[in-house]
Amino acid sequence: MTLTRTWRRAFAAVAAAALLAAGTAVASSAAAPSAARAEEGDVGWVRFAHLSPDTPPVDVRFTPLSGAGIFMLHVGAGSVTPYRKLAAATYTVSVLPSGAAAPSRSLTVTVDAKAATTIVASGPSTGLGLASVGDDLTPPSPGAARIRLVQASTTNPEVDVTAADGTPVARDLEAGEATGYAEVASGPWTLRLDGDDGTGSAVADVTADSIISLFVLDAPGGEPTILPVNDSATVAW
């Protein structure tokens, strides 16, 4: 596949702004999914990404200091839940083995009004890590798309991601880190992933007008692979 000039310009612009530099923190600024949703009031959107390959299904509990929270039940490894609406507040996010009463991990997160957040569980079950990632759901230009990479490989501490023609997308992207978003031309994108435990490839179908997170995971053989998730298609308004 030949990399288009649109892709080059998009990633050059992002790199110039230091959004795709290796080591970009996972906590990025979160934007409102749509200004037209202002009448929704002081609510935000949250979802959970279970990216730990050897951790059984989990239940996720969002508990506020006061008021009602939500549950996400039986979230299996390698899956990302749809967004759920929550009142803007500070929550304790508890991750429990499905059916258990006591949490195995917890995290405090603030849900901002008209903003979207992903809680990412990654790493081996013996050292399961939780992180809060801000999701920017600002629509792309008509006919284009916006993408980012989230590194959640367990066996590959650092991953290089390269487009089919050799143009770098991310270098030395460490586990638990994410790139910024870049606007790209829509279409199928073939990506090569090089990690400490092998080399993999993946094709992401980047549809027009979409916002997509590309989660770097471990394939059964240990080599890195990509789970594409269409963020804009899973927003539960």
Which structural domain range is residue 207 located in? 5-24+139-233
Strands 84-87 and 79-80: unpaired
Among the candidates 109, 135, 161, a domain finishes at 135
Looking at 120, 135, 150, which one is the last position of a domain? Answer: 135
Please indicate, yes or no, whether residues 107 and 177 belong to a single structural domain of this protein.
no
Residue indicated by tokens 């539960």: 236
- Give residue-wise pLDDT tens across range 49-81: 999 988 999 999 999 988 888 999 999 999 999
Tens of pLDDT, residues 121-167: 998 888 888 999 999 999 999 999 999 999 998 888 899 998 887 87
Q: Which of 182, 91, 93, 185 is nearest to 136 (CA)?
A: 182
The answer to whether residues 150 and 194 belong to one domain is: yes
Q: Please tell me the pTM assigned to this model.
A: 0.79
- Claim to verify: residue 148 and residue 197 sit in the same structural domain: yes
192, containing H or E segment = strand 187-195
Give the Cα separation of 115 and 34 in Å (integer): 9
29 within a domain of the structure (yes/no): no
Domain shared by 125 and 144, yes or no: no
Domain boundary among 84, 115, 135: 135
